[in-house]
Structure 1
Amino acid sequence: MTNATRAVGVDIGGTGIKGALVDLESGQLLTKRIKVPTPKGAEPDDVLAAVKIVLETIGVTDDDVPLGVAFPAIVKRGRTMSAANVAKTWIGFDAETFFEEGLGREIHFANDADVAGVAEQRYGAARDVEGLVMLTTLGTGIGTALLHDGRLIPNCELGHLEKSGLEGDAERWAAYSAMEREELSFADWAPRLQWYYSHLEFLLSPDLFIVGGGVSKHADKFLPLLDLKTPIVPAVHRNNAGIIGAAALSAS
């Protein structure tokens, strides 16, 4: 654990790359959230260039300020082992070393849903919750994070569950992007979420669901439409959870 009181978090997503300076005691953003579009194709060199723009705009270039980077892939020992919503080039890629060399500094590199889970565990809806907590991010895809008694179980890719008779996986059918793509109302989207969360409930028997991603700001329009045994609540930090969690992990 470092003695840092603040850190930078950068959250790389399928459609946007966001970053900010974060207060590590409160989990609050100390700067305006900076966002740039994820480059078309999301190839490594282009993503690195976009991350540099985010960091330059934030204005924190001091190596003494820890930096965490979140990425939409399975991350094992710094390598990206999957490539949902980014270029296939990332599969098996030594991404952590690539970013460290490209940025000229050390970073902490992790899965985007996992860091969002850490943010909610330390500063949000999962704080002091015992048992199994499952965070889902509903965005371009569906990211998932599992926390048991406050400890992260990394790299659970439960957005890729398959449904009989459905072409593609759960995230293609039930992510927020599907609602936008098919121009569904919240009432039309809710049955898809009902199937997804009911299936997770059957498989894992969690103690709490937390719903993150940008759509969580509209939680009152769709969570009441779901009928689950497990409590389900919106993420406290919503679409900033990836930034906050990446920053928090960078100083651990």
Structure 2
Amino acid sequence: MKVYAFGVDIGGTSVKIGLGRTSGWLFETRKIGTPPAPSPESFLAQIADVIKQRIQARGFRAADVLGIGVGVPGPVDAQGMVHGCANLGWGDVDVKAILEQHLQMPVQVGNDADVAALGEMWQGGGKGFSNLVMITLGTGIGGGVIINQHVVPGRFGSAGEIGHLHVDGQEREPCNCGNFGCLEQYASATGIVRTAKTLLAGHPEVASVLKNAGSFDAKAVCDAAREGDALANAALGQSMEKLGQALAMISCVVDPDAYVIGGGVSAAADVFMPPLKQAYRHYAFPASKDTVFTQATLGNQAGIIGGIKLIMSKESKEK
């Protein structure tokens, strides 16, 4: 019986490789650095070598391992073809085929945010829900959509690009994607800071600890809001108004059981979750107003654990 599987989380600076049981117990992790602009073939061969070494070191046979689930930072279609990874300098790369050639075992590939969402559904903040949307609030905003415990990649692998939902028709500054008024311009970590700076510039008469902070980050805004700073609370309220509006739109299409909030900003869930829920309920279709909001719990292991679940989901669909 194949009771082991590998989860691989490929990032712009490092790759995390985890070995676990298909019961969900992750018992070994390894990390290797991501070289600048890595060649897909040589880089994936290096990852395959680490997996081979771990199989040998554990005394496993290839027949003991169900397969490998991989998350990559870019759009991935249902066939495992990666359609560009900006952080890696990749164009179209058939990650699934390359790794299967090296390892001679099943490989399933997904977008890293989708795979993390799968991990949170299985063993994290979304446990107990079969249909959820995960939102990662960091430098940008990522997302993953899970329906009936399976990732929804979309035709071109771009399902779950929540950060690029259009939420403001008056925006004059471009988003990194080239469009204007994207959600991550307001509700990401950088968006929260941008909103606070706009309020500071527009309301010099309002007292705020952020005025004397010089350069500040989203954590500083959340900390100030927690201490009752009026301007910080206003900035956070505006950012969460945009996020709540966006999630209400998603509910009209997906109607998930739950929203799982992760990413670096999620550490301040105690301060941003109340205004987020209030905004969501204001905009949501009546039947969706009671959607559950929960916090991600797996941290940096979400992608590895999600990778294990990804290959398990693939195998179960084929049986």
**TM-score using structure 2 length:** 0.63
Cα distance change, pair 9–98 in 1 and its aligned pair in 2 (3 A)? same
The Cα offsets for residues 53-96 of structure 1, whole Å up to 9 and x where unpaired, read as: 76478x33453322211112221212112434331x33x32221
Which residue is 2:201 aligned to? none
**Residue from 81, 84, 89 that aligns with 2:83:** 81
Q: Does 1:41 align with 2:37?
A: yes
The Cα offsets for residues 101-138 of structure 1, whole Å up to 9 and x where unpaired, read as: 345654222222222222222223333336x5211223
Q: Does 1:4 align with 2:51?
A: no
Q: How does 1:182-221 map to 2 (within 5 A)?
A: 183-186=216-219, 187=221, 190=236, 191-205=238-252, 206=255, 207-220=257-270
For the residues of structure 2 that align with 1:244 and 1:237, how far apart are their CA atoms?
9
User: How far 1:210 moved relative to its partner?
Assistant: 0.4
For the residues of structure 2 that align with 1:15 and 1:183, how far apart are their CA atoms?
24
For the residues of structure 1 that align with 2:39 and 2:129, how far apart are their CA atoms?
38
Cα distance change, pair 194–56 in 1 and its aligned pair in 2 (3 A)? farther
Cα distance change, pair 223–4 in 1 and its aligned pair in 2 (3 A)? farther
Which residue is 2:199 aligned to? none
SS at match of 2:93: coil
Q: Does 1:250 align with 2:249?
A: no
Spell out structure 1 runs of 4+ moving beyond 6 A.
Answer: 177-182
For the residues of structure 2 that align with 1:200 and 1:240, how far apart are their CA atoms?
25
Is residue 73–residue 111 contact of structure 1 (8 Å, CA) maintained in 2?
A: yes
For the residues of structure 2 that align with 1:124 and 1:106, how far apart are their CA atoms?
25
The alignment-based identity, stated in percent, is 30
For the residues of structure 1 that align with 2:192 and 2:46, how far apart are their CA atoms?
27
More helix by share: 2
Which residue is 2:141 aligned to? 142
List gaps (5 residues or longer) in structure 2: 195-214, 222-231, 282-290
**TM-score using structure 1 length:** 0.77
Q: Does 1:161 align with 2:159?
A: no
SS at match of 1:78: coil
List gaps (5 residues or longer) in structure 1: none
Two-structure CA RMSD over aligned residues (Å): 3.3
SS at match of 1:114: helix
AA at the equivalent of 2:269: A
SS at match of 1:239: helix
For the residues of structure 1 that align with 2:124 and 2:151, how far apart are their CA atoms?
15
Deviates more, 1:212-221 or 1:179-188: 179-188
- RCO greater where, 1 or 2, for CA within 8 Å and sep 6 or more? 1
Cα distance change, pair 20–193 in 1 and its aligned pair in 2 (3 A)? farther
AA at the equivalent of 1:60: I
Is residue 214–residue 238 contact of structure 1 (8 Å, CA) maintained in 2?
A: no
Which residue is 1:124 aligned to? 124
| Larger Rg belongs to | 2
